[in-house]
């Protein structure tokens, strides 16, 4: 099974949307295998958003991501990266389709509820950045046979 990172951003925490967002992933059939609350630092954000360092909004992005704690989640499932990205919707909440997380809870390009890994390769890198091996909980789900075809395990 594939794993991916989801960060519930400070605005999600402040707006009391943690449970709603998490329940959407659960209802879709993804399995939560690691989760923690953390106050992000400039140092970790410099690494995490290094690909945006030359953008004019970089410092504002860092400030926004440190405005309150975040919830870091690792979700597991068949093609989890793709499923989570589609559930999140377009980065700009104004352009996100209703029914997606951003389409239902965001009207901003930056205050857009969640960060999601954009590829399997980046998911691995990002998960290693925020979680250590002991943070993961392996457990069987009796629902797997109702969620996946035999060739999707």
pLDDT digits (tens, 9 = 90+) for 47-104: 999 999 999 999 999 999 999 999 999 999 999 999 999 999 999 999 999 999 999 9
Grade residue 143 by pLDDT with cuts at 50, 70 and 90: confident
C-alpha span between 19 and 64 (Å, rounded): 21
In the predicted structure, residue 153 carries a pLDDT above the cut 90:
no
Catalytic center residues: 115
Question: Does residue 77 sit in helix, strand or coil?
Answer: strand
Give all domains of the chain, ordered by start, each with its CATH number. Answer: 2-152 (3.30.70.141)
pLDDT for 139 beyond 80: yes
CB 2 within 8 A of CB 120: yes
Confidence of residue 141 (pLDDT cuts 50, 70, 90): confident
What per-residue confidence (pLDDT) applies to 120? 98
Alpha carbon distance 151, 153 (integer Å): 6
Residue 136 Rama label (left phi>0; alpha psi -120 to 50; beta):
beta
Q: What's the pLDDT tens digit per position in 27-50?
A: 999 999 999 999 999 999 999 999
- Helix (H/G/I), strand (E/B), else coil: 71: strand
């Amino acid at each position: 099974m594939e794993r991916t990172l989801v960060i519930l951003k400070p605005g999600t925490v402040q707006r009391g949307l943690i449970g709603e967002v998490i329940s959407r992933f659960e209802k879709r059939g993804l399995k939560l295998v690691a989760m923690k609350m953390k106050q992000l630092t400039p140092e970790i954000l410099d690494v995490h958003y290094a690909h945006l360092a030359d953008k004019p909004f970089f410092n504002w992005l860092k400030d926004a991501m440190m405005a309150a704690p975040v919830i870091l989640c690792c979700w597991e499932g068949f093609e989890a990266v793709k499923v989570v990205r589609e559930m999140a919707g377009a980065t700009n909440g104004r352009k996100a389709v209703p029914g997606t997380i951003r389409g239902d809870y965001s009207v901003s390009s930056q205050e857009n509820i969640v960060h999601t890994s954009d590829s399997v390769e980046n998911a691995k890198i990002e998960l290693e950045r925020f979680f250590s091996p002991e943070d993961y909980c392996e457990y069987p789900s009796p629902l797997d046979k109702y969620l996946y075809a035999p060739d999707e395990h």
